[in-house]
Structure 1
Amino acid sequence: NSPGSKEAFLAALEKDAKERAQQRKRNELLANALKEKGNEAFRKGDYATAIQRYTEGLEKLKDKQELYTNRAQAYLRMHEYEKAIGDCEWALKCNAKCAKAFFLMGKAHLALQHYSQSRQCYEKLLQTDPQKQSLFEDCVNEVNLEEKRLKAEERAMEEAESGSLAALAIKELLQKLHRPDQSILYYAGGIRLLAGAVKGCTEQTLFRTNNGFSLLRANEAVRRGFCAERRGSAEVELAVSLLLLWQAVCTGNEANQHLLLSDPDVDAQLPKLLSSGEAEIQQQTLALLSLYSGSETGRRLLGKHQDLTSWLQVLMSFVPCSDARAGSAMDILSELAAGVRFKPQSGALLPPGVVPLFTQLLASAKLVNQAALARCAGILGSLCAAVGIRVQLAESRQCWQACLQFLDQYLTDPAQPQGCVSAVLGLMMNLLLESNVVIQGLAVEVSSRCLTLLGDRDGGIVTRACGVLSRSLAAASPAVEAAVRGGVVKKMIKVLRAGGKLSSSYALRTLCICTRSNRQAQEDLVKADR
């Protein structure tokens, strides 16, 4: 072969490569345009057109991963699960680390009741993107729930086919409750009977499979009575009966819990029921909510359907109750606050009524359920992990004044429960992570109360008082001067000699702050060291 022919061959290859690259660019532009048209059709709910556009895009560019996953998503909406799986497999050939493909394939396998394959897809999703831990947990929980639901329904079907009296009773009662134009008390009585007939998982499943959760939608009289703005005795009885029924069918049954919260009327009414003023309705609503708050899955469901931060004020309003409602409300609030879904984002704020309500509760501490008040203050303190909420409370002079007045009440009447004092001091410690003009203006008063509390007989209160003192002194120099005059150096040395690890660290911090800028504190420390 001559050199000329080689050069011609290489030139032809180069030309062909350029032409191919240019053609690919043109095809990519066309494919992207078709993808956008498909996306637009998908958003409108026109999934057939979306599939057509994605297919046309793939004819232009066969290795475009997004077109496969988008088409798979459209196939899922059309219930064409095998085709969705096929597209996900093609997407993974284009990109072996396509997290969306694993996610959609998991959904498709779940719809086909391929539970093991679905879990495997979600595990690969997590391996591909470890940041998707929360999504992975949600997806696996969904698979577990569906598998459990299917097995329960198979068992319930066997019971029904065997002529079980329990199965017949559930079905017959539901049929009677779907009769229109009966009195409210007729429905309330039937619902009570139905609640009593639900003894376990089989009856719970039969309730679900016989459309028990459609009662509010199917029976206008029941829905109207349940959602009434003003309730007479009959409407109260109906609401209580429904709440008892839902407790019976949802206890330990995640599938039923999910269906119940999916009902828009139930979803909208829960906060209203808590604020109804009817003690029995409130008590049974709290009992129902405790079924959810007591498990991770239940908390996830509540977080999905409800704005849990806004529930803070509603649940706090039960603190004055002298009966079991106060404890139940705080149990729910504690469980929700401990759950990931309740943790507000850094920019989140408390509803406007929370601070006035909390200050009112502190002002009337002797009259409210003090164990509940202590837990309420502790929960607010834990929510201060969210910067937005911490700033909001730290800038509230009303909140600070209420805390100081509460401490004054304790100092004049130490008979008050010490748990409340410890919780309020913990809240103040968290708020002092901020620095603002309100804190600077109140630093002298805060440190003064803490110095007095150092003489308390409760070691926990002394430790927290040391902590608040160490942070309040750092906020303003006048507070340091006042504390030194009040004998802070001598008191901190006494704390150090007592030997508590945490209180000692606070005492050292306090001494450092005081001696850094105050000559009298330096002299007091030298004298104490002799």
Structure 2
Amino acid sequence: MAALEMQRFLREVDAIAELIQGMNSDDPAVREKSTSEADKRISAIENKGVIEGGCRTKLNRTVIDSNPTDARDNPEMNQENFLKILEQDAQERAKRRKENEKLANALKQMGNEAFAKGDYGTAIQRYTEGLEKLKDMQVLYTNRAQAYIKLEKHREAISDCEWALRCNDRSIKAYVHMGRANLGLKNYKEAVQCYKKILDIDSKQENLVQAYVTQVEIAERKSFQEKEALEEFEQGKEAATSVKELLQKLAKTNQVAIYYAGGIKLLTEWIKDCTEQTLFRMHSGFSIINDNEVISSCFFTLQFISCNNVLFIHVISLMIVVFFSSYSEENQQVLVTWPNTSKQLIELLCSEVPEVQKQCVALLSLYSQTEHGRNLILNNLDLSKLLQTLMPLMSRSDTVACSAVGILTNLALEKRFKIKFRANVEATALPPFSNLLKKNIKLANQSVLPQCISVMGNLASDEVIRKQLSESKECWEACLTAMDDCLLLGNEADYRETLFMLLGLMVNLSLKSSCEIQEKAVAITSRCLSLLSSRDGEILTRTAGLLSHVLPQSAFAVEEAVRGGLVKKIMQLLKASGQTTTRYCIRTLAACTKASEQARSDTVQLDKSKSLAYSPQKLNF
């Protein structure tokens, strides 16, 4: 009975809270209705002395009860019962919440599955049902906001994000989706503010925030460009109207290839700035070219290249003009995300027509030169195939080789590019790289090969990739072959950059011990002994660095080094070396003297001044 009374009391509290909320509403009708209901309740209390469904104590201001109840005679017992009722109610509420949490999580999972299938309406329905079970479940609000954004219901998404922040004011996901929703509404300033609030929660998210802010800036530029371009077109400016007229002519079907080639050439000449680029996009320029069978067969089908390469070259020239300027990010995205474009761009790099290869490489090179362009490549192109296609082009002696290595150099600095090759670098990146190194160095493009080695060095800065390459027999054999070519050719100056970059890569790969390094340690050491006669200080430093990594891994290599007079060469190098070289030399001597009695004897004999024993600065590494 007491529990029933408590439930009635709690319901009454909820009802009164709703009345108060209604009386504070911005809606006059709601306020009037709530005020009227409140008046009725007050009147009922004053006239009847009861609250319907609540405590049945009658109000009497003039009479004092002369016979107190047993409960009043036993206040401790009354308090004990009250606490028991509260505890029981708390337990029941906790039980119901646990059940509701289970149901809400199940509905969330169902919503996530619908979202993954692209069924955003069903996803919203499931998230809503989950919120009916548990109104303070933050993730349901942010998930539903994301689904609303997919359906372009941006205001509803913002409302859900606000509710999520009421549940947790440090929700990064809520600010992200609120920023995206504001972007969808073209509230650019508000979107940036939402993204920047993330830094107040976690200052380490600076890169994430900058990426989102960049998206806002691109969208705002796009909106401004389209507005400006439309104004010029409506004013009848010749360049603006000519773009549309030429696109209309190119939209004609079943014309000969020379007709389209001439039209595209004229169109390219008219497109001089951002206004014409924007009008090209606004008037479906890329769709017209892509949907035209004659043009698209030339652009996207390799079999047609040999007979229609003039048309193809004009198309590529148009793409370069249309899609690349300081602020043409939207056009760049349209091109690379168009169906089949990303695949065909890589295939066209294999064309037997030199000019076709040249234009395709030039197009990709432009993409790689900006952060936005690199992101488009990373998100849309098959990176393994791209690398495998570009590497062989580096053996050419023309500008194509320079552009090809430039693309990979720009991409290799990106963390996501490295992550892509973690699982299969030996099968994808290593074979074409090894082939380049194993070719006659004398015939290689000496302005390109060092950069190619640098690309692999950047990949090897990733610990996972470095471990795989360090344990690869193919990799070490290719490096040794290239070293042999550099040493045998004799004129070090001609191949200095190649040798310098190669030594840097080998120093990097030998940071951690591996079975393959132990296997090749003697071969590596013998080549390093020859290089210690070099007059190039940087070559000497890297040679000493490689020895300091390799010798501790092989007693046989130490024997080879000591027999070859390594101790004497290192002692001479110590006399006129910088801090880095000194550190490498000391480690090299330490490895030798630890494993070889002869090395210890040679060191003592050569260090007559005891400089190693009494010069702390020499040993401070």
User: What's the counterpart of residue 417 of structure 1?
Assistant: 495
Q: Is the 8 A contact 2:305 2:312 kept in 1?
A: no
User: What's the counterpart of residue 230 of structure 2?
Assistant: 157
User: What's the counterpart of residue 286 of structure 1?
Assistant: 361
Q: Which moved more, 1:201-210 or 1:353-362?
A: 353-362
Output aligned runs, 1:50-65, within 5 Å. 50-65=123-138
2:563 to 474, 482, 485: 485
Q: Is the 8 A contact 1:215 1:222 kept in 2?
A: no
Output aligned runs, 1:88-237, within 5 Å. 88-130=161-203, 132-237=205-310
User: What's the counterpart of residue 42 of structure 1?
Assistant: 115
* 1:336 and 2:411 are equivalent in the alignment: yes
- 1:204-252 C-alpha deviation (Å, 9 max, x unpaired): 1111111112134432332222221323444322332222111111222
Q: CA deviation at 1:478?
A: 0.6
User: What's the counterpart of residue 531 of structure 2?
Assistant: 453
Q: Is the 8 A contact 1:484 1:514 kept in 2?
A: yes
Letter in 1 for 2:588: T
Q: CA deviation at 1:50?
A: 2.6
User: What's the counterpart of residue 30 of structure 2?
Assistant: none
Letter in 1 for 2:485: Q
2:440 to 364, 367, 377: 364
**Mapped partners of 1:460, 1:158: distance in 2:** 60
Label 1:356 to 1:81 Cα distance change in 2 as closer, same or farther (>3 A): closer
Label 1:282 to 1:22 Cα distance change in 2 as closer, same or farther (>3 A): same
Label 1:348 to 1:154 Cα distance change in 2 as closer, same or farther (>3 A): same
Letter in 1 for 2:368: S
Letter in 2 for 1:341: R
**Mapped partners of 1:216, 1:309: distance in 2:** 28
Q: Give the alignment's Cα RMSD to 1 decimal.
A: 2.0
**Mapped partners of 1:496, 1:264: distance in 2:** 61
2:349 to 274, 290, 294: 274
Q: Which moved more, 1:20-29 or 1:296-305?
A: 20-29
Q: CA deviation at 1:371?
A: 1.4
2:398 to 314, 317, 323: 323
Q: Which moved more, 1:153-162 or 1:54-63?
A: 54-63
**Mapped partners of 1:45, 1:230: distance in 2:** 37
User: What's the counterpart of residue 295 of structure 1?
Assistant: 370
Q: CA deviation at 1:372?
A: 0.4
Label 1:506 to 1:198 Cα distance change in 2 as closer, same or farther (>3 A): same
**Mapped partners of 2:107, 2:451: distance in 1:** 57
Letter in 2 for 1:488: L
* 1:383 and 2:459 are equivalent in the alignment: yes
**Mapped partners of 1:50, 1:312: distance in 2:** 39
**Mapped partners of 1:133, 1:489: distance in 2:** 50
SS at structure 1 position matched to 2:443: coil
Q: Is the 8 A contact 1:38 1:53 kept in 2?
A: yes
SS at structure 1 position matched to 2:511: coil
* 1:19 and 2:92 are equivalent in the alignment: yes
Q: CA deviation at 1:17?
A: 1.9
Letter in 1 for 2:293: E
**Mapped partners of 1:351, 1:225: distance in 2:** 35
Label 1:507 to 1:161 Cα distance change in 2 as closer, same or farther (>3 A): same
Q: Is the 8 A contact 1:348 1:386 kept in 2?
A: no
* 1:408 and 2:481 are equivalent in the alignment: no
Q: CA deviation at 1:261?
A: 1.0
Output aligned runs, 1:459-498, within 5 Å. 459-498=537-576
Label 1:92 to 1:439 Cα distance change in 2 as closer, same or farther (>3 A): same
User: What's the counterpart of residue 156 of structure 2?
Assistant: 83
Matched residue count: 530
Q: CA deviation at 1:312?
A: 2.4
User: What's the counterpart of residue 428 of structure 1?
Assistant: 506
Letter in 2 for 1:526: V
SS at structure 1 position matched to 2:340: helix
User: What's the counterpart of residue 518 of structure 1?
Assistant: 596
Q: Is the 8 A contact 1:300 1:341 kept in 2?
A: no
* 1:306 and 2:378 are equivalent in the alignment: no
1:256 to 321, 326, 331: 331
**Mapped partners of 1:67, 1:411: distance in 2:** 66
Letter in 2 for 1:258: Q
SS at structure 2 position matched to 1:163: coil
Letter in 1 for 2:231: E
SS at structure 2 position matched to 1:239: helix
Q: TM-score, normalised by structure 2?
A: 0.81
Q: Is the 8 A contact 1:312 1:333 kept in 2?
A: yes
Q: Is the 8 A contact 2:384 2:421 kept in 1?
A: no
Q: Which moved more, 1:480-489 or 1:297-306?
A: 297-306
Q: CA deviation at 1:267?
A: 1.1
Letter in 1 for 2:377: L
Q: CA deviation at 1:389?
A: 2.8
Label 1:32 to 1:398 Cα distance change in 2 as closer, same or farther (>3 A): closer
**Mapped partners of 1:439, 1:404: distance in 2:** 12
Q: CA deviation at 1:333?
A: 1.5
**Mapped partners of 1:96, 1:227: distance in 2:** 51
Q: Is the 8 A contact 2:384 2:429 kept in 1?
A: no
Q: TM-score, normalised by structure 1?
A: 0.95
Structure 2 unmatched ranges of 5 or more: 1-71, 609-621
Q: Is the 8 A contact 1:395 1:436 kept in 2?
A: yes
- 1:168-199 C-alpha deviation (Å, 9 max, x unpaired): 11111111122111223322322222122110
Letter in 2 for 1:273: L
SS at structure 2 position matched to 1:341: helix
2:473 to 388, 393, 397: 397
Letter in 2 for 1:500: G
Q: Which moved more, 1:322-331 or 1:54-63?
A: 54-63
Q: Which moved more, 1:93-102 or 1:12-21?
A: 12-21
Label 1:445 to 1:524 Cα distance change in 2 as closer, same or farther (>3 A): same
- 1:322-378 C-alpha deviation (Å, 9 max, x unpaired): 111111112221111123332336833326364343333233211121110111112
Q: Tell me which of the two structures has the higher relative contact order, counting C-alpha pairs closer than 8 angstroms and 6 or more residues apart.
A: 1
**Mapped partners of 1:356, 1:343: distance in 2:** 16
- 1:296-339 C-alpha deviation (Å, 9 max, x unpaired): 12111211112334422222212211111111112221111123
**Mapped partners of 1:23, 1:405: distance in 2:** 73
Label 1:250 to 1:61 Cα distance change in 2 as closer, same or farther (>3 A): same
Letter in 2 for 1:390: R
**Mapped partners of 2:429, 2:136: distance in 1:** 55
Q: Is the 8 A contact 2:470 2:510 kept in 1?
A: yes
SS at structure 2 position matched to 1:182: coil
- 1:96-147 C-alpha deviation (Å, 9 max, x unpaired): 1122111111110000000111111111234334454443232111111000
- Work out which of the two has the higher radius of gyration on C-alpha atoms and give 1 or 2: 2
User: What's the counterpart of residue 581 of structure 2?
Assistant: 503
Q: CA deviation at 1:382?
A: 2.0
